[in-house]
Structure 1
Amino acid sequence: MGLIDVSRIVMRDVLAVNEGEEVLIITNPGEVFEISLSLFNAAKEFKANPTILIQEPKDSLEYAERTVIEAIKSEPDVILSISEKKLGKDAYGLNIGYVGRDNRKYTHIFEKLLKGDRKIRSFWSPGITKEMYLRSVPIDYAVLREEARILAEILTKGKEVHITTEKGTDLWINVEGRKPLKDDGDFRKAGKGGNLPAGEVFISPAVGKSEGVIVFDGTLGLGGRSIIPKAPVRVYVKNGFVVRIEGGDEAKKLEDAIKNAEKMALEMRKEEYAKNSWHLGELGIGLNPRAQMSGKLLEDEKIRKTIHIAIGANYDNDAPALNHYDCLVWNPTVEVDGEKIMDKGNFTIF
């Protein structure tokens, strides 16, 4: 199976692209451009109207080019971000902001159109490679969506999640009143979007209510790049915030990345953003049956037998930050209100 074959699956099963629809593909030079070109050609086969826009790679603290932002403002039916690192931040959105039709404020025009106005549908693939695309994208999306539905239903009803591992993780996360989100590859309607490769259910912890210790023994996201730690990284959490990070060189790199986001927020005079640089912003549970450890967080956080915790901004937009650094925990035991849903990495619910 080649790139074009996988991209046809994407157009049909993931996006349900229709004749005449506008498809904007934002990418970078290099390997990601080859993937983007296959998506461009597949979209043409479905009689859509695709456009590719190329900018230099952007990390998580850099701004997208103005022309990219303006292209997004044209409100195409589908927007795809196939990037080496990240799409890039929106200067106007960060400093002034957009108000969506839902009357909520958004810091990026893309987020406003997707979540606030529900005018576009999308997927984004930061750090994707051809190998990852060929391996983890062509899966049975019907099965993935059913598993994600079951897991999201449990989290919707849940109040408290307890995560433990043999390496020392012992974390309590309050999720009462929070709504889980499904990255299940179902981006067929306006307002829907997520990663490709897909395959996770995730939820924002209640602000200020997580407690315990996390031992990260899988990939660490540092914003536009990721590393696999040689030794586990211990992160201590109190009242929802990271208060101490211990470990080797990788622990120092994670701490420095958070400090850089905090510093940038302070320079922008956004004290709330600076504070939330250290807040737990996400609990995610991997579901993709073909995802493998690649050192790229885009794929690694979808691996079955893992959960990931993000440090920084959350998805409920009540703890904004400039960073969102996902980090992995292998083979966890996960309980929701005392009922076990994972046992040492193995699901007990399906």
Structure 2
Amino acid sequence: MAEESDVSISDDGEREEAMLTAARSVVRTCMQVRPHEHVLVVTDPSTAEVGRSLYEAAAEVTDRILMMMMPRSHRQGNEPPASVGDLMRRQNVVLLATRNSLTHTRARITASQQGARIASMPGIDEEMLAIGGMTADYNALQREISGLNPMLRRRRDVRVTSPAGTDITFRTGLRWVLEDNGICNRPGQITNLPAGKVFVLPKEGTMSGKIVIDGAWEGSLLDEPLTFLVEDGLVVSITGGDLAESVRSILDEAKVGLRQSKTDLVNTVAEFGFGMNSRARLTGNRLEDQVVRGSAYFG
């Protein structure tokens, strides 16, 4: 595995070359684009330079390459314009380099059903592509994550501790997921990039203890830790300044209109994972934060 990223790039030419190098890795290693394949790059005004690098890298492999620019007005969770959605379902490979995620849109789901291989990179920026988690050796990352299978496949009882004060236990509900390695070479497959995490769904009602979040929360770096007390799988207390009050309010609002039998779902800790990408950095970008090597996350 590559060493942790501590590189800074100030020269524009050097940055462009670094971005193109990482884009080639996306095209050739992650997506394994072949000369006869149709490739679509979807970008927007905030990610245009990233899109250009991906376009140039794909154009080195195939001449069946298009790039579409999303409107600046596109919002999180909205469907892309019909013209973009129509093109997505006609491609072999789709690279979604956009500020807001298209992962859960009907357009993406339809394209996957039609056999497109898709990489979703919401929130990607030039620095992430040039020196961050996108620069990982994804073949090596795939081997390392797969190598964890013998250790994790029978691991049912889990305890997580941290210097910040996390101390929590749970039983796993299903198998550990070892496929978030960035390699996307099967029809209909989708990956998030940057990739590189291992995760599992805790068995309902088994998680208890304390979680101290001292890195990032919902796309923002933290000035002070957030502490969650968990009993029988449910968050029962949140402390940590003004943000804690905001989180409590969000959870309360999410319960409005739900049947009483469903309100516990809002406070359920539904996922645990840890990062394996040694090139990723804690930046406040949700995707990159989750894959930082040595970090863990709860969701």
TM superposition score normalised by structure 1: 0.71
In structure 1, what residue type is equivalent to 2:82? T
> Partner of 1:130 in structure 2?
126
C-alpha distance in 2 between matches for 1:275 and 1:144: 37
Aligned-residue CA RMSD in angstroms?
2.8
Give the alignment partner of residue 82 of structure 1, picking from 72, 85, 97. Answer: 97
Q: How does 1:151-170 map to 2 (within 5 A)?
A: 151-170=148-167
In structure 1, what residue type is equivalent to 2:246? K
Displacement, 1:170? Answer: 1.5
Percent identity over the alignment? Answer: 27
CA offsets 1:107-129 (integer angstroms, 9 cap, x no match): x4534654xx4822222112211
CA offsets 1:185-225 (integer angstroms, 9 cap, x no match): 2112224332222221122222333222211011111xxxx
C-alpha distance in 1 between matches for 2:80 and 2:169: 40
Q: How does 1:32-181 map to 2 (within 5 A)?
A: 32-53=47-68, 54-56=70-72, 60=76, 62-67=77-82, 70-71=85-86, 74-87=89-102, 90=105, 108=106, 110-111=108-109, 114=112, 117=113, 119-135=115-131, 136-181=133-178
**Structure 1 residues 72 and 274: CA distance shift in structure 2, 3 A:** farther
Displacement, 1:3? Answer: 2.1
**Which structure is higher in helix share?**
2
In structure 2, what residue type is equivalent to 1:26? V
C-alpha distance in 2 between matches for 1:304 and 1:276: 29
C-alpha distance in 2 between matches for 1:236 and 1:277: 15
Gaps of 5+ in 1: 91-107, 311-350
C-alpha distance in 1 between matches for 2:43 and 2:206: 38
Displacement, 1:306? Answer: 0.7
Secondary structure at 2:296 match in 1: strand
> Partner of 2:12 in structure 1?
none
In structure 2, what residue type is equivalent to 1:82? A
Larger radius of gyration: 2
**More displaced 10-residue stretch of structure 1: 15-24 or 247-256:** 247-256
Secondary structure at 2:101 match in 1: coil
2:170, 2:206 within 8 Å by CA — same for their partners in 1?
yes
2:36, 2:62 within 8 Å by CA — same for their partners in 1?
yes
Displacement, 1:271? Answer: 8.3
1:119, 1:190 within 8 Å by CA — same for their partners in 2?
yes
Secondary structure at 1:137 match in 2: helix
Displacement, 1:19? Answer: 1.8
Displacement, 1:278? Answer: 2.7
C-alpha distance in 2 between matches for 1:272 and 1:58: 35
Displacement, 1:68? Answer: 6.5
C-alpha distance in 2 between matches for 1:244 and 1:262: 16
> Partner of 1:206 in structure 2?
203
Displacement, 1:56? Answer: 3.5
> Partner of 2:225 in structure 1?
232
C-alpha distance in 2 between matches for 1:20 and 1:168: 53
| Count of matched residue pairs | 281
**Structure 1 residues 82 and 272: CA distance shift in structure 2, 3 A:** farther
C-alpha distance in 1 between matches for 2:109 and 2:55: 23
Secondary structure at 2:204 match in 1: coil
1:160, 1:176 within 8 Å by CA — same for their partners in 2?
no
**Structure 1 residues 66 and 249: CA distance shift in structure 2, 3 A:** same
C-alpha distance in 2 between matches for 1:245 and 1:238: 12
C-alpha distance in 2 between matches for 1:272 and 1:11: 46
Secondary structure at 1:11 match in 2: helix
Displacement, 1:273? Answer: 7.5
> Partner of 1:315 in structure 2?
none
